[in-house]
Structure 1
């Protein structure tokens, strides 16, 4: 059973393979804010818009001493193609076994067009420099979301 991921609780640590090679670990990002966002699937319309929006704002996140990490269950090779195709400049991490999705409580039942299936709930977590959850956005709608996250990072 995973803990409730709410503001004020420690963020579950993770080490995941990342786009461009190597790994990304939450513990290695200490000292900076981390925008950890989970998305259902690379190269789908909503996920593409979200990745592009975070990439377009990456210099603003960088200026606020924050790093953006996008996570899905897609394999790293798909993340690499997704990043190259759309010019994404953010870190994309592969949670192929779904353990990080489970730790953050974003893996669950979804429905579309009357069909029920398991998938990633589009969610974003703002983690402070000490590794504590500061903000949680669940069931994210892409339009305006990056601006809301950037405002929270700057606050």
Structure 2
């Protein structure tokens, strides 16, 4: 796999998402978007991040930015998470982690001395031309929305 970098074309994707939606790079052609990967629905860090993005949604919308959250969870927990926090933007299910692998965010992690494969909290701001404008690796949930707003305003 080629290492993704700013200025490179974002990998194509198509996934099922909350609210009975489907999200795809094809449907976003010509529009800027934020694709953010998070480890698990309804956990403290992921909740902080999603609620921060939801709060920033009106400003991001004014900037013409679409937002999609992606986790390896199956749809039922994603739907429950979206409903619990009234998340208006789509949360997509990447159960087979094919999209995460394409974006290089399905990585080896470790907790309590055990290693396992999991989703790295990473975000990609993609321009209307389909190229990656900005990448944030190992995102801090609290600061994420402000960082995205700042970068999106510069598009």
Instruction: Please indicate the TM-score interval, normalised by the length of the shorter structure.
Output: over 0.9
Q: How does 1:76-115 map to 2 (within 5 A)?
A: 76-115=75-114
In structure 1, stretches of 5+ residues that fail to align are none
Distance 1:80 1:143 in 2: 22
Moved more, 73-82 or 122-131: 73-82
Distance 2:37 2:44 in 1: 15
Q: Which residue in 1 is equivalent to 2:49?
A: 50
Normalising to structure 2: TM-score of the pair? 0.96
SS in 1 for 2:41: coil
Normalising to structure 1: TM-score of the pair? 0.96
In structure 2, stretches of 5+ residues that fail to align are none
Moved more, 108-117 or 62-71: 108-117
RMSD, aligned α-carbons: 0.9
Q: How does 1:3-152 map to 2 (within 5 A)?
A: 3-152=2-151
Following TM superposition, the consecutive aligned residue runs of length 4 or more in structure 1 with deviations greater than 6 angstroms are: none
Distance 1:118 1:18 in 2: 22
Distance 1:37 1:22 in 2: 17
